[in-house]
Structure 1
Amino acid sequence: MRGLNKVTLIGNLGKDPGINVLEGNVPVARFSVATTETWRDRAGQSQSSTDWHTVVLWRGLAELAQAYLRRGSLVYLEGKLKTRHYDDAAGVRHYVTEIIGEQLLLLDKKTGEAAPLAP
């Protein structure tokens, strides 16, 4: 049996996407998405918890994100988890888990309907 690495999120951008162009003219966009879960506790009070997720988009999706996504944009995102590591100047290893986006839908109410963003 093969493994499955799939993430699905609906949330709001925390800031405008930042874009870098890597060697070979390859664009990459990075931004954070907030997802909030809401529930009622035993006393009947509404509670909520917000998680922040770092999203990375490559090539055509990165360019579309830069053109259409803004802070607060509501998006539907499908992708996969990827963990990488780096060593800082002091030699301390840090681990970072990111979502590599593969499909993106803009869900903002301004447009009237969901708009798929495809490369």
Structure 2
Amino acid sequence: MLNRVILIGRLTRDPELRYTPAGVAVTQFTLAVDRPFSNQQKEREADFIPVVVWRQQAEHCANYLRKGRLAAVEGRMQVRNYDNNEGRKVYVTEVVADNVRFLESANSQNQGGGGGAARDEFAPPAPSQNRSFGGARNNQDPFSDDGKPIDISDDDLPF
């Protein structure tokens, strides 16, 4: 059996960092991932996929990822459930990330790309220095022609 997910998308809001009672870091964020086709009005649609990251990588994501940044997530799909306040069972489908790659440096925000505040803080290496997904050796950003930030209000999100 195989449960493996690889996603590339932009964050819909800043990551939320929390700690379990045992002191383990956990970060949650949502990736907007474009669908590979257009709808009947010739508009591209996106899926909004919740991602959970644990431990040290959770802290890195909370510190260096921001709304609108491009990121690659590698992990597994998980479905969990709980009973809400009304006693109804709620099912949650999310990706539990094993690996998160930052596909834009903090400096790329200053050069007309992406949204969010520009920062001079440490950022991971540029994509050309990162391990590429799928064995491809092409280091060009497939989203570089777009150049527009994704501006999604919380009211537009389906959750």
Give the TM-score category using the shorter length. 0.7 to 0.9
Q: Report which of the two has the higher share of strand.
A: 1
- Which residue of 2 is the match for residue 34 of structure 1? 32
The Cα of 1:113 is off from its aligned counterpart by: 2.0
Structure with the bigger RCO (C-alpha within 8 Å, sep 6+) is: 1
The Cα of 1:22 is off from its aligned counterpart by: 0.6
* In structure 2, C-alpha distance between the alignment counterparts of 1:81 and 1:90, rounded to whole Å: 27
1:80 is aligned to 2:93: no
Stretches (4+) displaced over 6 A:
none
Cα distance 1:51–1:22, how it changes in 2: closer, same or farther (>3 A)? same
Structure 2: runs of 5+ lacking an equivalent: 109-122, 131-159
Q: Which amino acid aligns with 1:37?
A: R
Deviates more, 1:19-28 or 1:103-112: 103-112
TM-score computed with the length of structure 1 as normaliser: 0.85
Structure 1: runs of 5+ lacking an equivalent: none
Cα distance 1:91–1:65, how it changes in 2: closer, same or farther (>3 A)? same
Deviates more, 1:102-111 or 1:20-29: 102-111
What do the CA deviations read for 1:41-72 (whole angstroms, capped 9, x no partner)?
A: 79xx7431110000000001101001110000
Q: Report which of the two has the higher share of helix.
A: 2
- Which residue of 1 is the match for residue 16 of structure 2? 18
Which residues of 2 match residues 1-119 of structure 1 at below 5 A? 3-39=1-37, 46-108=42-104, 110=108, 113-114=126-127
The Cα of 1:23 is off from its aligned counterpart by: 1.5
Q: Matched residue pairs, number? A: 112
